[in-house]
Amino acid sequence: MGVTGFGKTGYNWRRISPFEIRRVLTTLPLCSIIGSIVPPPYIHMKLFHRRHYSSLVPINLKENRTNSSKESKILYLCKSGSLSGALQLLNSVDSSEISIKPILYASLLQTCTKALSFHHGLQIHSHIIKSGLEADRFVGNSLLSLYFKLGPNFSETRRVFDNLFVKDVISWTSIISGYIHAGKPKESLEMFWKMLEFGVEPNGFTLSAAVKACSELGALKIGRCFHGVVLGRGFDSNYVIASALIDMYGKNSGLEDARRLFDEMPEPDAICWTSVISAFTRNDKFEEALGSFYLMQGKYGLSADGFTFGSVLMACGNLGRVKQGKEVHAKIIMAGIFGNVVVDSSLIDMYGKCGLVEECRRVFDRMRIRNPVSWCALLGGYCQNGNFKSVIDLFRVMENKDDLYSFGTVIRACAGLTAARQGKEVHCQYLRKGGWRDVIVESALVDLYAKCGYIDYAHRAFVQIHSRNLITWNSMICGFAQNGRGGEALRMFNEMVNEGIKPDYISFIGVLFACSHTGLVDQGRGYFISMTEDYRIKAGIEHYNCMVDLLGRAGLLEEAENLIRKAVFRDDSSLWAALLGACMACTNSMVGERVAKKMMELEPDYHLSYVLLANVYRAVGRWDDALKIRRLMKDRGIKKMPGKSWIEIKSNMSSYLDLAYSGLLGKRNFPEIRGLSSGVGRDGSGSSINPMPQVEE
């Protein structure tokens, strides 16, 4: 008997077979016929117990359940990391039958942003447009976040913002932050003022973004005004804003303000500690940066993140503290920070500055993801340690050559090798970049052409630089000096001073070098005194070397010797070596013996002191004394170190030990060299050139 029959005949309801469950949809209406005899809760219980609870839902409710079920599945797939599966299910949904709620689209977009999956976000955006939900506040804000964090074109982000029907403080904060992310801090501040015009009140995140814009613009006065707004609105306890303010002061020569703000905080969090450590590093307060780092972890027990470690590694590198750098490296490993491009690039930079080039390469080779910063860090490490050929080789295989720093580094490497042909190739690549103009790169070009002997090319490159800074002027001054055009170097120096640019340590090296190679003794003395008295620049070893060379070339050996003995660098063997070379040129064996003995006292194993003294004896005809010096070298086991030379052949740099020292260069090695010997000692017209004094065997 059917269920309906049971109901009509008053049959005991307990006889309803569970196998008749297909007809259960007629059971619930029968409850009104059976009345109090059949308790509906029992039927519910039996159905639930038999797992047929889906049949309890009315047809209209079942449609909603289907809708909700698909939304739940999409959300579950999304949160479990299967964006492709979520999109596949979303594509299968018929929008005419089932409408997706805006909150689901917002969740999907947020997941795409976290997963850095812009292409999935674009597909979801297309669904949003079809659904007509692009102007929804929640969906629009999520779209804004996706586009400004991952979008390749900021104009699309602005279009999403403009399409929003309701723009709340979250929307405005997103677009303000988006402009900063796109490298447009000026436009970011303009949007902030526009937001105020629309009557939208900023929150803590909005003010933080505005402070960051001031930081990027270097607008310290406006930043101080925002600081006042923060205090007036009671946001002074907001650590997000506080860290942004510390960062702003640190970037714009307001270190004391940054320190004061940090000290006034009752319990600064890890982000604020990171900001103040970064401020110390930017202002060359490396000891304070390291001290703050150890205080942060030791006393307060706060964990450091990748940005903290990056600043600390920079401090270690600039101080040359390789031991502390390795300790920080160990802390990074223990913290489980792997694959962080910022940290890895900072490690490469630190090891490079500490002279551990092999460690630089090891860290670089382990990196799974490399960006231009990591490539430039390795290039810089090689260049700082004189591995110029490695810089050029690495630049050739570099994946992305859209970084100005990389061009500046490889040009400096070409200058270090005097590789004119390869330098010109890099120059052409730089010019092909179109509108690129960078004073550092172009100053490096001036230095390159000057060191390669193309001083007119160097001057042409100098003239084409619109905004010349001190580095540019120094490159040209030193270039003229190194190419024997001392008068033009001094003229360039005076022109620089007249334009209001204050000379520095390097400027006076070029000037004194120019005086030395043009025999301007009186002017050289004047510039040396002016450097210390007028410009308060402490004379360094390079300046003393130039002065010793200047006086030595003029035959003023006694004055040069007295200058060395009065200097704080009197125990530096390079000064005495310069004077000993001058003694050889002037054939003054008396001063030469005295200077050589001083050199041997300072560095008894330094081969150059013995070689130069032997050359002095040869120059005055004291052959027996020269032979004694050679025997003394042999008895003490002192060997003359062979020189290393570079030659550029068909855009390739090759090195070889100096022929006179090594004896390894045969006729079949570098045949191009054989043709050079005929031109040595002669200029293009065939006239003889007087060479500088040479170090002999």
Is residue 422 a part of any domain in this protein? no
Alpha-carbon distances of 639 from 593, 655, 658, 697, rounded to whole Å: 20, 21, 15, 11
Please give the mean pLDDT across all residues of the chain: 79
Among 293, 312, 331, identify where a domain stops.
312
How many Å apart are CA 501 and CA 520, to the nearest integer? 24
Q: How confident is the model at residue 80, as a pLDDT?
A: 60
CATH code, 307: 1.25.40.10
Query: For residues 200 and 194, what is the distance between their CA atoms, to the nearest angstrom?
Result: 9
Q: What is the CATH number of the domain that holds 632?
A: 1.25.40
**Mean pLDDT across the stretch 628-633?**
80
Q: Are residues 84 and 225 in the same domain?
A: yes
Q: Is residue 426 part of a domain?
A: no
Among 23-37, 98-112, 143-157, 594-608, whose mean pLDDT is lowest? 23-37
Domain limits for position 152 = 66-312
Q: Evaluate whether residue 521 is within a structural domain.
A: no
User: What is the pLDDT at residue 399?
Assistant: 73
169-178, 198-207, 570-579, 679-688, range with the lowest pLDDT: 679-688
Residue 21 lies in a domain: yes
Position of tokens 């309803």? 16
Phi-psi region of 386 (alpha: psi -120 to 50; beta: other; left: phi over 0): left
Of the pLDDT bands very low, low, confident and very high (cuts 50, 70, 90), residue 91 is: low
Domain end call among 312, 347, 366: 312
pLDDT higher than threshold 80 for residue 293: yes
Is the same domain home to 152 and 83? yes
In this structure, what token pair is assigned to residue 550?
């200047």
pLDDT of 183 strictly over 80: yes
Confidence band, pLDDT 50/70/90 cuts, at residue 682 = very low
Tell whether the model's pLDDT for residue 6 goes beyond 80.
no
Same domain, 19 and 96: no
Query: For 573-604, b where at least 16 C-beta lie within 10 A, e where not — what string?
Result: bebbbbbbbbbbbbebbebbbbbbebbbeeee
More confident residue, 555 or 476: 476
42 and 110 both lie in a single domain: no
Where is average pLDDT lowest: 102-106, 455-459, 681-685? Answer: 681-685
Q: Are 602 and 665 in a shared domain?
A: yes
DSSP secondary-structure letter at 303? Answer: P
pLDDT of residue 83: 61
With bands split at pLDDT 50, 70 and 90, how would you rate the model's confidence at 77?
Answer: low
Structure confidence by residue, pLDDT tens digits, 99-143: 667 777 787 888 777 777 787 778 778 877 877 777 778 888 888
- Distance of alpha carbon 685 from alpha carbon 40, whole angstroms: 118
The mean per-residue pLDDT over the stretch 565-585 comes to: 83
Pick the more confident residue, 7 or 104: 104
Q: Which residues of 611-635 are buried (b: 16+ CB within 10 A; e: fewer)?
A: bbbbbbbbbbebeebbeebeeebee
Residue of higher predicted confidence among 624 and 463:
463
**Assigned domain for 113 exists:** yes
Average pLDDT over every residue of 529-548 = 93
DSSP string, 466-495: SS--HHHHHHHHHHHHHTT-HHHHHHHHHH
Q: Which among 281, 312, 343 is the end of a domain? A: 312
Q: Does residue 575 register a pLDDT over 60?
A: yes
Inform me whether the pLDDT recorded for 426 exceeds 60. Answer: yes
Q: What is the DSSP-derived secondary structure letter of residue 254?
A: -
Q: Using one digit for the tens of pLDDT, what is the confidence trace for 13-58?
A: 344 443 343 344 344 444 443 444 444 444 444 444 444 433 444 4
Task: Indicate if the pLDDT at residue 216 is higher than 80.
Answer: yes
